[in-house]
Each structure stands twice: as C-alpha cells, then as structure tokens.
Structure 1
Amino acid sequence: MSAALQDKVAVVTGGSHGIGRATVERFAREGAVVAVGYGHDEAAAGDTVERIRKDGGRAFAVHTELGTPGDAARFWAAFDEAGRDLVPDGKIDILVHNAAKGSFARLADLGEDEFDKVMAVNVKAPLFITKLALPRLRDGGRIINLASLAATVASPDLLAYGISKAALNTFTLDLAADLGRRRITVNSVAPGIVMTRNSQYLRDNPELAEQQVARVALGRLGEADDVAGIIAFLASDEGGWVTGQVIDASGGTAL
C-alpha cells in the first residue's frame, strides 16, 4: 500500500460507483481516510466502505441527496455525524466533486425541470458544498472537479449536461485564483466516455461502441481507474504546482 496520501482526509461525492468508487479505493490504498458520498444507493456505498476496510483502509459513508434545497449544509452535517470517530475535528485535505446528474436531450426535447435538476446537482451543489468546506479545508489542500469532454466538444444530445460541466470549469478557474494564497489547488478533470454503469448502452450496441472507439486516439474507451489515477496525481504532493486547469482525460478523443 502506497503512503502518498497517508492520513489525509479525502471527501468524494458520488463515491459509491464508477469513477467515484475507483477514486475512493485509490485514495484509501494510498493511506487517506475517505468519506464516500452517495445519494441513493446505500448498498453500493456500504459495499465500497466494506471493501476498503477489508483491505486495511479507513472509510465511512456520507448520505445526502444533492440537488435539493439545503443539500450542502446537510452534507456536512452528515459528514460530521458519520465521521466523528475517524475525523473528530471535521477537517479535510481533499474534496472531489464527482456526483453528477446526466441528461440525454437536445434542446427541442429539454424540459425546464430537467435543466434545473442538472444545474442543481452538477453546479449548485459543488459550489455551496465547497463554500461550506472552506473553513474545514486545510491550507495546501486540493479541490478536484469532475467535468466532461462535453463541455468543450459539441455534444447536442448532452446539452444541459455540457452546459453544467462548462460552468464547473469556470468555477474551477475562479476558485483557483481565489484560493491560491492558501496554497489550495483547484482543477477539473474532463473524461470522455468511461465504461461505468452508465455505459450499458455501449455494451448493448457493439457497433456504436466501435464508432466511439474510432474517435479515441489511444484506441479504446476509458475505464474508471484511468481517471482515478489522474485525480490521485492532482491530490498528491506531486500535483501541487498544477492549479486552475482542465485536464483532458479522454485518451485523445476527437483530436
């Protein structure tokens, strides 16, 4: 087990599946205490925590449904309650905003309620969770936002999602300038297609999957561990001179 993050406290929203799960497991292997944020799938969050503990790591689950009024305050209250033994002072070193709501609709089919929900989960929640985290976040800490290639590559079927991730990139830039005096780095990681539970449509359609692979310079679709490795670098001491950046994690998609 690496000690790159030994005794750091890391919080990952959406930590029970996909990129979030790969990230918390990576952090735990590197010595961090990890808070596994989740909104709905209690069983998956519990399984993630149990796996980490069986491997000798330290983890606890934090339940909050994001995208609802007061979610940021509830999130940190849940963190304090669930982490009272492992994180008694409530301080953190790493905050990863991974939780997100997808939207597969072009403008003609996009409803206001769907747009508002996407923005509430993907933009408002990270912004206000971060605001309330600032007194908790130690100087020299890390904030890492999960963006998307959809923010910079035309994706009409992902209109609301792409808009929300573009907003998150702007938040990254502004926050990096704001928090630099505290030696806190703020970066975005922008994956392309990653084979998670949300990619079942590609597993069901090999022809479509081949079309997507053809757009990737490295010749395959991404895996959760590919992205988690980049997040882990940004969270480490080695990533301490990188801030205000949107890092492409797509394997060279649509170059």
Structure 2
Amino acid sequence: MVVHKVAIIQLYPKPNEIENNHQRAISFIKDAAAKGAHLAVLPEYHLSDFFPSHDPAIRQQCAQWKKYLDAYCSLAKECNICVVPGSLGELHEDNTLVNAAYFIDNMGTVRGKYEKKNLWHPERPFVKGSKNDTRHLAFDTPLGKVGMLICWDLAFPEAFRELIIQGAKIIIVPAFWKYSDASEAGLKRNPRSEGDFLDAAVVSRAFENTCAIVFCNVAGPAGEGFAGLSQVAMPFVGQMEKFENSDEGVKYADLDMDILDEAERAYKVREDITSPDWHYSYRR
C-alpha cells in the first residue's frame, strides 16, 4: 500500500505584504514537514492579493518571482518535502504577467510548471494566459504522475481529461476563489453558490477521472467574501479532508493510492478514454 500524506495550507495573502506572506508560508511548510507530510500545497497568488497588476507596486514586486521560487526549492530540499507554492504572479522582461504554478520535489528540483490557461474574467486584461501555446502536461514526481491546474481551470473537465490520459493520478489545484465570484445575481439566488460549486466540482472531478484532487484555496476575512473550503477528494471516498470556513491553517489528508486502482477497475474511465475507438473528441 502506498500512502502520500498531503498538507493543504489555507493561507491568507494579506494585501501588500508579500514578504510577510512568504514567511508565514515557510513556517507552515516547515511544520508540515515536521509532521511527516510528503507534499505541501499553497493557494493561488499566495504572495499577494488576487490582482497584483491592479497595484503598480505589487506588479513590480512580481518581477522578483524567481527569488521566491528559488527560496521554495531550497526549503523543499532542506525539509525533505515536495512543495507546490500555490501560484506566483511572474512579471517578465517583456512586461507580461503570467500566473504560474510549480511542482518542486523533495530534492529541491522543479519537476513541472504550469501557466494558467482558463483565466478568470477580471484577470484577462492584466494576465497572459497560456491558451493554445502548450497542452496540459502530466509529469513524474516522487508521488507518481501528477498534473497541475489553477483555480478557474476546475470548471473545465477537458483539462482534467488531458491530464489523466497522460497517466496523472494526482491533480493539484491552487485557487483564489471567493463567494463573491458568483456575481450579484448569483448571490441573490444563493449566497453559498460558490461553495456548492466547489464541493460538487472537486468531488465530481475525482470520481469521473479516478484520480485524487488536491484543491487549496486562500484564507481570508469571511466578511470580504473569502470562501476557504480547501479540500482533498478521491473516488469512492469523496471528500477526505476539508476546511469548513475561510480561516488560515493546515489540514492533512492521507492519499491511499490503492483507492485509485480500485476505482479504475470499477469504472474503467482511463481504459475507455485511451481505447482506439473512444467516441469523444474535442474540436474548435
């Protein structure tokens, strides 16, 4: 039996406090490693508030993204733990900003990078999405084959299919997802609309892809619309561990990888989608 202990770190990215956020993230990762976690996951944009491009000062600090990535690589090696440092806002020399997630192994080596494709609507004027530049890629890690997505990607089953057809067993989704994302119309219909969305989507993606989903959202003041609700799900089991609120903290889940093999034998999802006569294809 192979079991991977995962720490989901629901961190509050305090506005304009990039260094403070980074130091709190380091503390949480060190604590997770001391408790025997094999993987620590942080939320999307965990070093700054959601739209770093809205504040010129924060946007310029995003040019320092490599400093923070290198620091997480050193920390992963020091603590002997794999780390997904949420996502980083990366300002490049051509002045484009991308939203990127990295998988760092326990030796401090980057095993995979993903730039967000499905940008949330308010991001689009400021952040460059990868769109059709690259496909979703799964990659090898000490935890097996892993894929990464970011936040609004959760709404697109095609992204998950593209990863599991390459053999991904664990899909990690850092997020910055708030109740207020439902819009005024949605909130009038159901103030908890986005919570229902997250709970349903995370569990559905686990079952329909016979994979583990690690969804790590930001913490923050409930009065400002922060949802929290970070959670881990697997087929058969459903939600394994979950934050019921938007408080900052860490929760742990033990991923029994045998469950995924058992679910695949029952549902045969991967077998079907890789068969030569698979009847679905997606075209523009």
Q: TM-score, normalised by structure 1?
A: 0.40
- Which structure: greater strand fraction? 2
Q: TM-score, normalised by structure 2?
A: 0.37
